[in-house]
Amino acid sequence: MKMKKMMLPAAISAVTLALSASAMAATWKMATGDAAGGTQYELGTKFAELIEEKTDGDIKVNIFPNSQLGSEQDTVNNASMGMLDLSIVAINNITPFSPTVGVLTLPYVIQSAEDAKKLTQGEIGDQMTENTIRDAGVRILGWAYSGCRRLTNSVKPVATPEDLDGLVIRVPKNEIMIAAYQAWGVNPNPLAWSETFTALQQGVVDGQDNPYITIDAMKFYEVQDHVTDSCYVFSLEPLIMGEGQFQSLDPEMQQAVLDAGKEATEHSFEYLLETEADIKDKLVNEHGMTITEPANDEKEWIEQATQIWPDFYDSIGGKEKLDQALEALGREPA
């Protein structure tokens, strides 16, 4: 009897431990808008591998590529409401929910992978995370670096903004990107990413812009012939988790998630540097795309598009936010 009494608390705590371990074990669903094979998938698979390793297999991640779980903007909502564990989306698809991140999509602010790294991994990146938690209920855990967005189309080589005349270009549902095309003299067609390939295939639109790695992953070379080697926006693709879900994790697990995100981000940066040039070559040599250099080192594109900056000072939180980004990049204030 005495023996039984003594064993009872130990037995209870063993059961409790077993229960809490199994409550912790989970398989998280991660959405990506892009098909498998691009930078989103690379970041996602790296994060999945790291979190599984850091939690001794308690957390596994299943990736659902190609917008299977909804459009990128839908997945931001779903993660925020706790209906989806993780999603990787282009930054332009977070801006409608948290307009201050728009500073990262203002045309010609970020001009290289190094610029992108400086803005996402320093103080400005931390501010973006705080702002998306506050405005959109999602936490940025990591970043995929996908490269400059290049204009593609199925009709003709485009070297100047005037060459856009007569082309119907798809843009994300993002006010800044719509305004950039308007500054170049055309009215673009805002469409969800999940609808873009079909719209290009059916000729509803003639062109779109996205990085080389994305053009390849999405097989856009099957429906697009020409690429302009422009760099008006650098494609950043955050990995997000609903803040409610993050806060429900114990501190150790939160740290594992943050560490996995950080390490996966480093991996994404290296992946871009290692693969982008080869993918560009492949688009030309294997898939027959033609590449056109923007005329005059992109001068007209830059002059016209940067005129829209002041229209977005309010939404990004004031001109000082842009100046802070430019200063971090070693450039003059706007």
Q: Which residues of this protein are in contact with ligand MLT, per CB under 6 A?
A: 33-34, 72, 89-90, 92-93, 172, 193, 210, 214, 235, 237
CB of 252 to ligand MLT, least distance (A): 32
CB of 90 to ligand MLT, least distance (A): 3
- Give CA–CA dist 146/236, Å, rounded: 6
Residue number with CB closer to ligand MLT (55 or 214): 214
Residue number with CB closer to ligand MLT (90 or 241): 90
Q: What is the dihedral of CA 285, 286, 287, 293, to 10 degrees?
A: -20
CB of 11 to ligand MLT, least distance (A): 51
Residue number with CB closer to ligand MLT (55 or 188): 188
- Give CA–CA dist 181/75, Å, rounded: 26
Which whole-number Å values give the CA distances from 226 to 148, 151, 189, 203, in the listed order?
Answer: 16, 8, 19, 15
CB of 227 to ligand MLT, least distance (A): 15
The answer to whether the CB of 152 falls within 8 A of the CB of 169 is: no
Residue number with CB closer to ligand MLT (92 or 230): 92
Q: Residue number with the shortest CB distance to ligand MLT?
A: 90
Residue number with CB closer to ligand MLT (72 or 216): 72
CB of 266 to ligand MLT, least distance (A): 20
Tokens of 139: 């936490």
- Give CA–CA dist 210/140, Å, rounded: 21
Residue number with CB closer to ligand MLT (206 or 237): 237
CB of 282 to ligand MLT, least distance (A): 18
- Give CA–CA dist 19/9, Å, rounded: 15
The residue with tokens 């697990």 is 253
- Reported as type and span, the H/E element at residue 123 is helix 123-136
